[in-house]
């Protein structure tokens, strides 16, 4: 775990704009900051729970979008990341391509909300922000949420896909199965400007020198944690095997009859074969 935390420390990167894994604060010190975790390698993307855990262990939360202004801020960051000449620290180069992003909106159990009947009309009301925000802003794609077995929400980011009935699959929201693998966006409380973040006013380009998260921080975060039980099992099995090998290589020694610690029973017993 210490290795994971150390990997999340910031390191300077020259001649970069918005890059994956970089903490960016938009619009002033009173506004929240964001970190976009994009993975060119599709197999490295994560499920909803892993994304949420990664953000929380980085002292943030999975993205809540509380207003049209904040929605626009996120869209601008993704556009900047997509067109950037420098690839994300989480792999690849040349900006980002297709790949949806988890946001912190999920459907709660209707059993815990008896005031809402489990009908299609009330289903959208069952979606709540995981960070506790009560903001009612939503940006659903046409005919979403579908409200079936899909209880977690992504922001569409498929710039090369053909438009659907609701237009391009860009930035609008869609409910998806929580075990699907996607990129994700973390959100952080407002912070004072320091060496670990990049501030950006509305419409202003990010400075040429930025500070980004460690290249493998997010990747290590969600890969190492789920594998801890397996690693412990391997460690125990290895230790057991080593102990058995050492025990077998050390021949047993018999106690000589003339040693002082020999114990002799007062009641003679029949001869028996020593095993």
Over residues 139-177, the pLDDT tens digits come to 999 988 988 889 999 999 999 888 888 889 999 999 999
Q: What is the mean pLDDT of the chain?
A: 72
Model pLDDT, residue 58: 93
Tens digits of residue pLDDT in 15-61: 334 556 788 888 778 889 999 999 988 999 999 999 999 999 999 99
Model pLDDT, residue 226: 54
Check pLDDT > 90 for residue 7.
Answer: no
The predicted model scores a pTM of: 0.64
**What is the number of other CB atoms lying within 10 angstroms of the CB of residue 124?**
14
Model pLDDT, residue 112: 52
Residue 26 neighbours by CB under 8 Å, 6+ apart: 33, 34, 73, 76, 77, 199, 200, 201, 202
Residue 15 neighbours by CB under 8 Å, 6+ apart: 86, 208, 209
Residue 253 neighbours by CB under 8 Å, 6+ apart: none
User: What are the residue boundaries of the structural domains of the chain, listed by start?
Assistant: 11-227
**What is the number of other CB atoms lying within 10 angstroms of the CB of residue 91?**
16
Q: Which residue has the higher pLDDT, 241 or 163?
A: 163
CATH 1.10.287.1080 is held by the domain 11-227? no
74: confidence class by pLDDT, cuts 50, 70, 90 = very high
Q: What percent of the chain has pLDDT over 90?
A: 37
For range 173-198, the mean pLDDT: 80
Model pLDDT, residue 251: 52
């Amino acid at each position: 775990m210490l290795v994971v935390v150390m990997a999340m420390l910031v390191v300077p990167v020259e001649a970069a704009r918005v890059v994956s894994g970089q903490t960016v604060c938009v619009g002033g010190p009173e506004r929240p900051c964001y970190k976009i975790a994009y993975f060119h390698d599709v197999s490295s993307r994560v499920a909803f729970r892993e994304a949420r855990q990664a953000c929380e262990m980085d002292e943030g939360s999975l993205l809540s979008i509380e207003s049209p202004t904040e929605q626009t801020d996120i869209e601008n960051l993704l556009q900047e990341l997509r067109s950037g000449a420098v690839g994300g620290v989480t792999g690849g180069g040349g900006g980002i391509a297709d790949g949806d992003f988890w946001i912190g909106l999920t459907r709660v159990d209707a059993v815990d909300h008896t005031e809402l009947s489990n009908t299609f009309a009330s289903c959208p009301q069952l979606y709540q922000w995981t960070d506790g925000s009560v903001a009612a802003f939503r940006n659903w794609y046409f005919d979403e949420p579908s409200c079936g077995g899909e209880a977690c929400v992504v922001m569409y980011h498929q710039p090369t896909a053909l438009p659907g009935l609701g237009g391009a699959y860009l930035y609008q929201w869609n409910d998806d199965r929580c075990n699907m693998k996607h990129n994700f966006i973390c959100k952080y409380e407002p912070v004072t400007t320091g060496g670990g973040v990049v501030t950006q006013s509305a419409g202003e380009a990010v400075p040429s020198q930025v500070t980004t998260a460690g290249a493998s921080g997010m990747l290590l975060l969600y890969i190492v944690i789920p594998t801890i039980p397996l690693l412990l099992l391997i460690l125990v099995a290895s230790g057991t095997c080593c102990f058995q090998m050492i025990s077998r290589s050390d021949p047993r020694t018999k106690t000589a009859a003339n040693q002082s610690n020999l114990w002799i029973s007062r009641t003679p017993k029949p001869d028996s074969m020593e095993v």
